[in-house]
Chains A and B, each alone.
Chain A
Amino acid sequence: MGVSFSISAVIHLAVFLLLLWWGQLFPTTATVQETYYVDVVNLPVANPRAGSPTQKGNDAEAPPPPQTHESPLSMPSPPQPSTKARTAPTGKAQKAEKTEKADTSSDAAFAEKMAKLESKAESQQQEAALERLRKKVKTTGSGRTGMPAGSGSEAGSDYTAYVQSRLKDAFYQTISYTSKNPEVVVHLYIDADGKVTRQKIEKSSGDRTFELSVLRAVEKAGDKLVPPPNHKVFEGTFVFKPKGISRNKL
């Protein structure tokens, strides 16, 4: 019985140790398929390193401001028929009454003319706006008309959005937290080769588990990043919450 007990204990210990070191002895070789997220709002995104509407492209080819040929707000010099009447010598009272009637009729005509001019100016403004849009549509193929915060050279690019997307992808795999509504603000430095050189927690709600999951996500995402546009060092601040990641507007 004692021998059997010894053998049994040794077998159990061996099985326990085998399970303990199973992951090291037989590492899982299955490759995890990378998940791609398509940002339907910001389509088309040709290349994260390309395109920026705010640097040169749109500014250079911005449609001309609306023509100021006839400013609708500037009052045209009204005809002044009354000046004559006013300047005319006022001999009799009847004459004076006639001149007053003439003034009132000329005011009505002036108001009509103003209304016409305003409607004309409005129509011209609308035409100018339409023309502006047409020009913009024509120039999108060759110009730099990407996302507002982009810094590249092709349409629809935004490196910050790209980094955010990669972080979100990694964060879904590492997320873990123990407190209610944790929040971590991380400042990232990505070098010209697309590697995360530094990550700094600027603000944290104090949930250590959540902080670690965020750092793991940054580490995970940092392996697969493409270099920033124009091979410049990228800096960005991201706010990590259980609901997702957002860019810090501060």
Chain B
Amino acid sequence: MGILVGTGLVVRIVLFILIAFSVLSWTIIMFKFFQIYKANSDSERFMDFFWKSKRFDAIASQVDRFTGSPLTVLFNEGYGELGKFVEGSGKADPSILSTDLGGIENVSRALRRATNSEITRLEKYTTFLATTGSTSPFIGLFGTVWGIMTAFEGIGKTGSASLAVVAPGIAEALIATAIGLVAAIPAVMAYNHFQHKIRVLINEMDSFSTEFLNIVQRNVAGK
């Protein structure tokens, strides 16, 4: 690491930026990893509970057990909208589901809005990973180019092009590219992984919305 001692100011600034990128990207990687892991596990448990339950009010009373799941947000939104409609139409209990088709459209809009807000929540900060993955190598490359320029200036001043003179400058310059790649590679890998996981969760939310509306509509049609 003594190689860092001889670097110039520009290369040091570049290295500082890259290290900051790396620290932040790893912060986001860990945060999103736990967030998506909890969302997946809670969603799985919530769906089991949802299909086992017969009444919406029973589900609503237990929904706090699955706070990490985006499906619980959808359920709360859908159930809340259903309740508002039932209250507006003079019915006392929204779990009876004696609603008409106008109410179903409202529930559908509420579910769509909740889905969008959950997608936004899940995708929050992942753009920084994409930015780190795409720009860090270029920032590192800039540091390397600058360092090599400085090294060549030194060669011009000393008038010697021996390996002993050239090699340290180039090695100092190349460390910027190395750190750029160290920051970028995990960020790109994590970004792709999280995108896949979020897509799976979006599909689950769409499926749940459809199922929720189906249940509501079946009950309306059954009345």
Within 8 A of A (CB), among B16-43: 19, 22-24, 26-28, 30-31, 34
Inter-chain CA distance A94–B27, complex, in Å, is: 136
In whole Å, how far is A221's beta carbon from the nearest beta carbon of chain B?
Answer: 17
- Which residues of chain B come closer than 8 Å to A242, judged between CB atoms? 160, 162
Selected A-B contacts with CB under 8 Å, 24 pairs: A1-B31, A4-B27, A4-B31, A5-B24, A8-B23, A8-B24, A8-B27, A11-B26, A12-B19, A12-B23, A19-B1, A175-B162, A175-B164, A176-B164, A176-B165, A177-B158, A177-B165, A178-B154, A179-B158, A180-B158, A180-B159, A181-B159, A242-B160, A242-B162
Judged by a CB distance under 8 angstroms, whether B157 is at the interface is yes
Q: Quick check: B159 and A1 within 8 Å, CB to CB?
A: no
Inter-chain CA distance A134–B162, complex, in Å, is: 47
Q: Quick check: B160 and A177 within 8 Å, CB to CB?
A: yes
- Which residues of chain B come closer than 8 Å to A22, judged between CB atoms? 1
Judged by a CB distance under 8 angstroms, whether A7 is at the interface is yes
- Which residues of chain A come closer than 8 Å to B160, judged between CB atoms? 177, 180, 242
Known contacts A12-B22, A177-B160; A4 and B28 CB within 8 A of each other: yes
Within 8 A of B (CB), among A2-35: 4-5, 7-9, 11-12, 16, 19-20, 22
Inter-chain CA distance A179–B157, complex, in Å, is: 7
- Which residues of chain A come closer than 8 Å to B162, judged between CB atoms? 175, 242
Q: Quick check: A20 and B1 within 8 Å, CB to CB?
A: yes
- Which residues of chain B come closer than 8 Å to A5, judged between CB atoms? 23-24, 27
In whole Å, how far is B50's beta carbon from the nearest beta carbon of chain A?
Answer: 30
- Which residues of chain A come closer than 8 Å to B159, judged between CB atoms? 180-181
For B33, the closest partner residue in chain A by CB is A4
Inter-chain CA distance A177–B185, complex, in Å, is: 37
- Which residues of chain B come closer than 8 Å to A176, judged between CB atoms? 164-165, 168
Known contacts A8-B23, A9-B23; A178 and B30 CB within 8 A of each other: no
For A242, the closest partner residue in chain B by CB is B160
Inter-chain CA distance A246–B9, complex, in Å, is: 39
Interface size on A, residues (CB 8 A): 20
In whole Å, how far is A66's beta carbon from the nearest beta carbon of chain B?
Answer: 52
- Which residues of chain A come closer than 8 Å to B165, judged between CB atoms? 176-177
- Which residues of chain A come closer than 8 Å to B30, judged between CB atoms? 4, 7-8
| Per-position binary interface string of chain A over residues 98-136, scored 1 when its CB falls under 8 Å from any chain B CB and 0 otherwise | 000000000000000000000000000000000000000
For B30, the closest partner residue in chain A by CB is A4
Inter-chain CA distance A20–B30, complex, in Å, is: 25
Inter-chain CA distance A7–B162, complex, in Å, is: 44
Inter-chain CA distance A233–B90, complex, in Å, is: 115
- Which residues of chain B come closer than 8 Å to A8, judged between CB atoms? 23-24, 26-27, 30
Within 8 A of B (CB), among A169-196: 175-181
Within 8 A of B (CB), among A155-177: 175-177
Inter-chain CA distance A5–B22, complex, in Å, is: 11
For A17, the closest partner residue in chain B by CB is B1
Within 8 A of B (CB), among A139-156: none
- Which residues of chain A come closer than 8 Å to B158, judged between CB atoms? 177-180
- Which residues of chain B come closer than 8 Å to A9, judged between CB atoms? 23, 27
- Leading 4 A-B pairs by shortest Cβ distance: A8-B26, A4-B30, A4-B31, A8-B27
Inter-chain CA distance A68–B19, complex, in Å, is: 90
In whole Å, how far is A20's beta carbon from the nearest beta carbon of chain B?
Answer: 5
For B154, the closest partner residue in chain A by CB is A178
Within 8 A of A (CB), among B135-179: 154, 157-160, 162, 164-165, 168
Inter-chain CA distance A19–B1, complex, in Å, is: 6
Inter-chain CA distance A179–B24, complex, in Å, is: 42
Inter-chain CA distance A19–B162, complex, in Å, is: 28
Q: Quick check: B1 and A1 within 8 Å, CB to CB?
A: no
- Extra contacts besides A4-B31, A8-B24 (12): CB < 8 Å: A7-B27, A9-B23, A11-B26, A16-B1, A22-B1, A175-B162, A175-B164, A176-B165, A177-B165, A179-B158, A180-B158, A180-B160
Inter-chain CA distance A176–B168, complex, in Å, is: 10
- Which residues of chain B come closer than 8 Å to A4, judged between CB atoms? 27-28, 30-31, 34
- Which residues of chain A come closer than 8 Å to B164, judged between CB atoms? 175-176
Inter-chain CA distance A19–B30, complex, in Å, is: 23
Within 8 A of A (CB), among B157-216: 157-160, 162, 164-165, 168
Inter-chain CA distance A95–B162, complex, in Å, is: 92
